[in-house]
Amino acid sequence: MFIGVDLGGTNIRVGAVNSSGQVFHRLSLPTRVNLGLEEVIGRIVSTILSVIEQSEKEGHQIRGVGIGSAGIIDIRTGTVVSSPNFPEWSQVPLKLIMENKIPYPVFVDNDANAFAYGEKWVGVGKNVQSMVCITLGTGVGGAIILGGRLWHGFDGMAGEVGHMTVQPNGLRCNCGNYGCLESYASASSVVRRIKLAIQSGRTTIVMDQVNGDQDKITSTIVYQAALEGDPLAKEIMEETAVYLGIGIANLINLLNPELIVVGGGLANAWDMLYPITIAEVHRRAFASLAQTAQIRKASLGDDAGIIGAAGIASFSLKEVAYAI
Ligand SMILES: [Zn+2]
């Protein structure tokens, strides 16, 4: 068995994963980024050790640990170069730190890559050789699988589909660029754009639902308001779907993938987003490519990151063995 770790800005999720991709002994702990690097490391280690202990008690043999971490990861050294979710983290040698505290080999990759690996291994991407994953969460994450394998790019940082420019004069993104897909298709961008509209004088039932407190607006509340027919909320959700379609059309023309997988919190609004997104894709992408590319919602939920991280560890260990 391999231990899979989904390391996010909000939660540390850990599980033991068998060779069929089934998860056992799930354990989750709030990350508490505000407590500082050492404390967060301590929380990751104790959660992992606890899952290892439970698994070994049942006679399972642990062979390695995979960590899917938010941020830019140097996969060769297992270093978190930087991460918007961990502002304090800069060049943190996570693999090295973990291997000093855990008696198994540790592999670190980007959380979106882990998510994609999970969906490819046992989820909606099973049997698919080429796919692009897009996660619509606080940010927009992305991962590319080509020829059945993760495409890491020259520096190991490929797949940042959230930072493709989809609107040249658009909103400023966290990365510093303007008009990134992330500024239009992330859950936080839904909140940001409805706030901007409210500040410009637009009215919406969303404000009633948060008792006039804009800080309480979430993408789920906006989605619910759109379902209830609120014109502004509908407009924001439709805009989100259109920009997602623009991004996906670019990916389809560039890579001709079999499958595009959309996950993350905002994918809960998939039924609303999908028809608009698919129409935009067909409006922009080459007809034959758009015809063959399937666009589907992710299937593994919160487990995808754990399963994928464990899968990456298993795969990496084999690769290392072959290399030797
Ligand atoms: Zn960006």
Read off the pLDDT band of 320 (50, 70, 90): low
Please give the distance, rounded to the nearest whole angstrom, from the Cα atom of residue 197 to the centre of ligand 1: 21
Asked whether residue 21 falls in the same domain as residue 60, the answer is yes
Please give the distance, rounded to the nearest whole angstrom, from the Cα atom of residue 189 to the centre of ligand 1: 12
Q: How many domains is the chain built from?
A: 2
Read off the pLDDT band of 318 (50, 70, 90): confident
Please give the distance, rounded to the nearest whole angstrom, from the Cα atom of residue 176 to the centre of ligand 1: 6
Please give the distance, rounded to the nearest whole angstrom, from the Cα atom of residue 53 to the centre of ligand 1: 40
pLDDT score, position 214: 96
Mean pLDDT of 35-50: 95
- Under 8 Å between Cβ of 125 and 308: no
Question: Residue 123 domain-assigned?
Answer: no
pLDDT score, position 156: 82
Asked whether residue 217 falls in the same domain as residue 307, the answer is no
Cα–Cα distance for residue pair 300/321, rounded to 1 Å: 29
Cα–Cα distance for residue pair 287/264, rounded to 1 Å: 27
Report angle CA 319, 8, 218 to the nearest 5 degrees.
Answer: 140
Asked whether residue 137 falls in the same domain as residue 277, the answer is yes
Q: Which residues contact 179 (CB under 8 A, 6 or more apart)?
A: 165, 166, 167, 168, 169, 170, 171, 173
- Under 8 Å between Cβ of 221 and 210: yes
Asked whether residue 205 falls in the same domain as residue 251, the answer is yes
Asked whether residue 102 falls in the same domain as residue 183, the answer is no
Asked whether residue 159 falls in the same domain as residue 244, the answer is yes
**What DSSP character marks residue 32?**
-
Question: Residue 271 domain-assigned?
Answer: yes
pLDDT score, position 322: 59
Mean pLDDT of 49-73: 95
Please give the distance, rounded to the nearest whole angstrom, from the Cα atom of residue 56 to the centre of ligand 1: 43
Greater pLDDT, 323 or 136: 136
Asked whether residue 132 falls in the same domain as residue 279, the answer is yes
Query: Residue 249 is part of which domain span?
Result: 128-297
Mean pLDDT of 229-244: 98
> What CATH number did the domain enclosing 104 receive?
3.30.420.40
Asked whether residue 317 falls in the same domain as residue 289, the answer is no
Q: Rounded to the nearest 10 degrees, how much is the dihedral formed by the CA atoms of 167, 266, 302, 89?
A: 40
Please give the distance, rounded to the nearest whole angstrom, from the Cα atom of residue 242 to the centre of ligand 1: 18
Q: Is the pLDDT of residue 250 over 90?
A: yes
Cα–Cα distance for residue pair 170/121, rounded to 1 Å: 36
Cα–Cα distance for residue pair 68/276, rounded to 1 Å: 31
Please give the distance, rounded to the nearest whole angstrom, from the Cα atom of residue 122 to the centre of ligand 1: 30
Please give the distance, rounded to the nearest whole angstrom, from the Cα atom of residue 161 to the centre of ligand 1: 9
User: What average pLDDT is seen over the chain?
Assistant: 94
Q: 228 vs 192, 204, 223, 237, 281, CA distance in Å?
A: 20, 11, 9, 12, 26
- Under 8 Å between Cβ of 141 and 162: yes
Please give the distance, rounded to the nearest whole angstrom, from the Cα atom of residue 165 to the centre of ligand 1: 8
Please give the distance, rounded to the nearest whole angstrom, from the Cα atom of residue 174 to the centre of ligand 1: 6
Mean pLDDT of 147-155: 91
Please give the distance, rounded to the nearest whole angstrom, from the Cα atom of residue 247 to the centre of ligand 1: 13
pLDDT score, position 321: 60
Asked whether residue 148 falls in the same domain as residue 22, the answer is no
Read off the pLDDT band of 324 (50, 70, 90): very low
Which ipTM did the prediction report? 0.99
Q: Is the pLDDT of residue 297 over 50?
A: yes
Greater pLDDT, 322 or 201: 201
Please give the distance, rounded to the nearest whole angstrom, from the Cα atom of residue 75 to the centre of ligand 1: 21
Question: Residue 96 domain-assigned?
Answer: yes
pLDDT digits (tens, 9 = 90+) for 125-147: 999 999 999 999 888 999 999 99
Please, is 111 exposed, middle or buried when counting C-beta atoms within 10 Å of its C-beta (0-12, 13-18, 19+)? buried
* Gyration radius of the chain over CA positions: 20
Asked whether residue 184 falls in the same domain as residue 279, the answer is yes
Please give the distance, rounded to the nearest whole angstrom, from the Cα atom of residue 250 to the centre of ligand 1: 16
Which among 180, 179, 142 has a CA at the least distance from the CA of 257?
142
Please give the distance, rounded to the nearest whole angstrom, from the Cα atom of residue 169 to the centre of ligand 1: 13
Question: Residue 81 domain-assigned?
Answer: yes
Cα–Cα distance for residue pair 95/80, rounded to 1 Å: 9
Asked whether residue 177 falls in the same domain as residue 267, the answer is yes
Asked whether residue 136 falls in the same domain as residue 272, the answer is yes
Question: Residue 45 domain-assigned?
Answer: yes
